[in-house]
Amino acid sequence: MTRRRSFEFHLDGHSGVPVYRQIIDQVMAGIAAGALTSGDQMPTVRQVAVDLSINPNTVMRAYRELEIRGVLDTQQGTGTFIAPQQVRQDEVERRQRLNQLIDEFVARAGSGGFTVDELLEQLHDRATGSQTKRR
């Protein structure tokens, strides 16, 4: 039986990151954080578009890219679900992907005026669960 979870997207109109990319990033972050797991049903394209007041084609673009990556699985008439996770990459590829993510994260944060120390503090807070607002 598929578990139903309510996953909510939040947009940052000031980030400079395209909306479809923000949706992709939030799904990937949800999986990494364990908030989304294999078999969880995603909100419909229409529901996300209404909730965020955006064009449904934007949501479809994000979902389609996530399907291509093997992250989402759409079953006609049933819905869109988090796909079973793929076999892990070798350690070198995994480390390269992590370094790329960190570079992008630090660059985005730096352009927003945040320091590496501020990032580390927030990451530490999340890792230890000491943030008061958790989803």
Q: What CATH fold (topology level) applies to the domain 19-82?
A: Arc Repressor Mutant, subunit A (1.10.10)
Phi, psi angles (nearest 5°) of residue 72: -115, 155
Check: pTM over 0.75? Answer yes or no. Answer: no
Domain residue extents for the chain: 19-82, 91-128
In this predicted model, what pLDDT tens digit does every residue of 10-39 receive, in sequence order? 999 888 899 999 999 999 988 888 889 999
In this predicted model, what pLDDT tens digit does every residue of 49-75 receive, in sequence order? 999 999 999 999 999 999 999 999 999
Question: Helices 56-68 & 19-33, crossing angle to 10 degrees?
Answer: 50
